[in-house]
Chains A and B, each alone.
Chain A
């Protein structure tokens, strides 16, 4: 500390190997990158949305087409999130708490939607349920519409968002093991009581985290939904689809008004995610020495 160059360091700096200048440059680069690629686009979205004033903004949002897209998006999100909640918990439970043949294969399968392009995911459903598809003739004969209707969009969204809940829960449940469940059962609890009184409270933050990400993706999904929706105006357009259509028709205010809703969803998701992550970390303070 007595040497002259030590004057430029605070005591805390000594534990770092990098000089302050280099650290500053690295941090500055990261911030700049975030500004250009994240903050700037967000500002553009909101600026464009409000470019003709508040009344134009709200008029754009209350148009029948826009309202229909919002309704459809909420409906699809409600269906796919609630189903994936159930599937995800069951899958995570099976993988984390039991040993069985083909477990690794199942884990890989759960990740499949992450590694497949969403467009391909959508196409799979076209191939299955389309007029020339596998189930097509049968569906037509019974007058059941899957493709270009709510069921098709829901199926594609469920497929694309399937991994989120399971992925959030598997490591958590594996870490927690089965001892608390065994304790509950030895104390006379039934399977359901064990699940609702012991397992669920232990995984609730992880579950919320998974549901949150699942919901964000379900509302924002474009590729897979675009393939199966048919783009029927006022009927099968979700919010992301409508954004694209309006944009292509040079209706920038309307387009960005809808986009701003999706952007707000993203921001809210981000905040809640941060809170949940903090909760999760607290929850993981080991209860054993």
Chain B
């Protein structure tokens, strides 16, 4: 099932939760909506599910207007951030709910319902919990039961709101891999909301980065990481070094000193230079267009992370860089720095 969202606007009072959002999701995709809190990602998900209504705009499922139908008619599986399991029902009855509330003509027989629930509990590997109540489950178990319950209605679309938000780090990692392999197995068009970039980049086929009710960039995880379209995306995804620069006549200046990099068509005026921590080339003093003294070095795994105070900049700007361990850095040492890959975005007014 494909999803198309056109010109969605949603305001809460004077706050624009969604400001003219357009989005197309292909059949069988696993899409992440990534953004900080308040970026509108959950609101967009709820509008697609029919739990919220846009002030204006359209939503299409396979070209058919979804806004003609309420949430109960859209056949959308929704997994809530806090799972929203029915607390007075056993795990079995939770999963069976969607099958039991079907209209009489369509409803499966009791035997068929039992078989289906069993099958789903097997799928999420929790068949042994069928008689427990939600309060007796761990967070990760609740999460998987919520997913089984959503899948019971054979949804055309699966929507997950911060699916791993309330879990501890280890369980998160396991569930991420599990969700990805589950998606490969059932192949239903899925959208999940997250504020965790690692989660989005690791699980999704495509990532939609949102901020302040707008879509900043849509792309594959590699795309949004390597070719961020806006300053926000660069700053939000991955760690970035941000330096205030001035662009004039195609040259880039930092604190009056010309840097040995090209403006790449950036508009003249105040701008910010974005460089990934590991994209700073390190050399002997005087070897790059920047120079700094190492203040502090921490070494872990394959990298060493150094705090470097830039010389020549007005005041003291301290940046963090990641360097491979083949060149040992020492505290107090002066090194030359040259951005290997970088992007320049006009400074916000």
Q: List 13 A-B contacts (CB under 8 A).
A: A180-B86, A180-B87, A186-B50, A186-B71, A186-B72, A187-B72, A188-B72, A189-B97, A189-B101, A197-B101, A201-B88, A202-B87, A287-B135
Is A187 a contact of B97 with CB atoms below 8 Å? Answer: yes
Is B84 a contact of A183 with CB atoms below 8 Å? Answer: yes
Is A280 positioned at the interface, with any CB of B under 8 Å from its CB? no
The 10 closest A-B pairs by CB, nearest first: A187-B98, A179-B84, A189-B101, A183-B84, A186-B78, A201-B88, A287-B87, A287-B135, A185-B72, A185-B71
With contacts A182-B80, A184-B101, A186-B51 taken as known, whether A287 is within 8 angstroms of B72 at the C-beta atoms is no
B63-105 CB mask vs A (1 if < 8 Å, else 0) is: 0000000111111111010111111110000000110011000
Could you tell me the distance between the alpha carbons of A240 and B145 in the complex, rounded to whole angstroms?
A: 54
Is B84 a contact of A190 with CB atoms below 8 Å? Answer: no
Is B84 a contact of A180 with CB atoms below 8 Å? Answer: yes
Could you tell me the distance between the alpha carbons of A289 and B82 in the complex, rounded to whole angstroms?
A: 9
Is B213 positioned at the interface, with any CB of A under 8 Å from its CB? no
Could you tell me the distance between the alpha carbons of A180 and B88 in the complex, rounded to whole angstroms?
A: 11
Q: B14 to chain A: closest CB distance in Å? A: 16
Interface centre among A185, A193, A197, A201 (most CB of B within 10 A): A185
Is A285 a contact of B72 with CB atoms below 8 Å? Answer: no
Is A198 a contact of B86 with CB atoms below 8 Å? Answer: yes
Is B101 a contact of A202 with CB atoms below 8 Å? Answer: no
Could you tell me the distance between the alpha carbons of A29 and B72 in the complex, rounded to whole angstroms?
A: 60
Query: With a CB–CB cut-off of 8 A, which chain B residues contact A189?
Result: 72, 97-98, 101
Is B166 positioned at the interface, with any CB of A under 8 Å from its CB? yes
Could you tell me the distance between the alpha carbons of A133 and B82 in the complex, rounded to whole angstroms?
A: 55
Is A188 a contact of B101 with CB atoms below 8 Å? Answer: yes
Query: With a CB–CB cut-off of 8 A, which chain A residues contact B88?
Result: 201-202
Give chain B's interface residues, CB within 8 Å of chain A: 49-51, 70-78, 80, 82-89, 97-98, 101-102, 134-135, 139, 149-150, 152-153, 166
Could you tell me the distance between the alpha carbons of A209 and B135 in the complex, rounded to whole angstroms?
A: 23
Interface of B is mostly: loop
Q: Which residue of chain B has its CB nearest to the CB of A187?
A: B98
Interface centre among A182, A186, A202, A285 (most CB of B within 10 A): A186
Partner of B166, one of A184, A185, A288: A288
Is A188 a contact of B135 with CB atoms below 8 Å? Answer: no
Could you tell me the distance between the alpha carbons of A115 and B50 in the complex, rounded to whole angstroms?
A: 42
With contacts A187-B97, A189-B101, A287-B134 known, what are 12 further pairs, Cβ within 8 A?
Answer: A179-B80, A180-B87, A182-B78, A182-B84, A185-B70, A186-B78, A187-B98, A187-B149, A187-B150, A187-B153, A197-B97, A201-B88
Query: With a CB–CB cut-off of 8 A, which chain A residues contact B80?
Result: 179, 182-183
Could you tell me the distance between the alpha carbons of A188 and B98 in the complex, rounded to whole angstroms?
A: 6
Query: With a CB–CB cut-off of 8 A, which chain A residues contact B82?
Result: 179, 288
Query: With a CB–CB cut-off of 8 A, which chain B residues contact A179?
Result: 80, 82, 84
Query: With a CB–CB cut-off of 8 A, which chain A residues contact B49?
Result: 186
Partner of B75, one of A188, A198, A287: A188
Give chain A's interface residues, CB within 8 Å of chain B: 179-180, 182-190, 193, 197-198, 201-202, 285-289
Query: With a CB–CB cut-off of 8 A, which chain A residues contact B74?
Result: 186
Could you tell me the distance between the alpha carbons of A162 and B84 in the complex, rounded to whole angstroms?
A: 31
Is B135 a contact of A190 with CB atoms below 8 Å? Answer: no
Q: A234 to chain B: closest CB distance in Å? A: 47
Q: B260 to chain A: closest CB distance in Å? A: 53
Query: With a CB–CB cut-off of 8 A, which chain A residues contact B101?
Result: 184, 187-190, 193, 197
Q: B4 to chain A: closest CB distance in Å? A: 20
Could you tell me the distance between the alpha carbons of A196 and B167 in the complex, rounded to whole angstroms?
A: 31
Query: With a CB–CB cut-off of 8 A, which chain A residues contact B72?
Result: 185-190
Could you tell me the distance between the alpha carbons of A179 and B79 in the complex, rounded to whole angstroms?
A: 10
Is A182 a contact of B87 with CB atoms below 8 Å? Answer: no
Q: A34 to chain B: closest CB distance in Å? A: 36
Could you tell me the distance between the alpha carbons of A193 and B78 in the complex, rounded to whole angstroms?
A: 18
Could you tell me the distance between the alpha carbons of A285 and B88 in the complex, rounded to whole angstroms?
A: 12
Partner of B86, one of A183, A188, A289: A183
Query: With a CB–CB cut-off of 8 A, which chain A residues contact B153?
Result: 187-188
Could you tell me the distance between the alpha carbons of A186 and B85 in the complex, rounded to whole angstroms?
A: 12
Could you tell me the distance between the alpha carbons of A149 and B84 in the complex, rounded to whole angstroms?
A: 49
Query: With a CB–CB cut-off of 8 A, which chain B residues contact A289?
Result: 139, 166
Is A182 a contact of B86 with CB atoms below 8 Å? Answer: no
Q: A136 to chain B: closest CB distance in Å? A: 48
Interface centre among A179, A180, A287 (most CB of B within 10 A): A287
Query: With a CB–CB cut-off of 8 A, which chain B residues contact A288?
Result: 82-83, 166
Q: B139 to chain A: closest CB distance in Å? A: 6
Could you tell me the distance between the alpha carbons of A288 and B84 in the complex, rounded to whole angstroms?
A: 9
Is A186 a contact of B166 with CB atoms below 8 Å? Answer: no
Q: Which residue of chain A has its CB nearest to the CB of B93?
A: A197
Could you tell me the distance between the alpha carbons of A289 and B135 in the complex, rounded to whole angstroms?
A: 9
Is B83 a contact of A188 with CB atoms below 8 Å? Answer: no
Q: Which residue of chain A has its CB nearest to the CB of B88?
A: A201
Could you tell me the distance between the alpha carbons of A197 and B89 in the complex, rounded to whole angstroms?
A: 10
Q: A39 to chain B: closest CB distance in Å? A: 38
Q: A184 to chain B: closest CB distance in Å? A: 7
Q: A43 to chain B: closest CB distance in Å? A: 42
Query: With a CB–CB cut-off of 8 A, which chain B residues contact A186?
Result: 49-51, 71-72, 74, 76-78, 150
Could you tell me the distance between the alpha carbons of A289 and B49 in the complex, rounded to whole angstroms?
A: 26
Interface centre among B75, B80, B84 (most CB of A within 10 A): B84
Q: A197 to chain B: closest CB distance in Å? A: 7
Is A182 a contact of B51 with CB atoms below 8 Å? Answer: yes
Query: With a CB–CB cut-off of 8 A, which chain A residues contact B89?
Result: 201
Q: A208 to chain B: closest CB distance in Å? A: 14
Query: With a CB–CB cut-off of 8 A, which chain B residues contact A287?
Result: 85, 87, 134-135
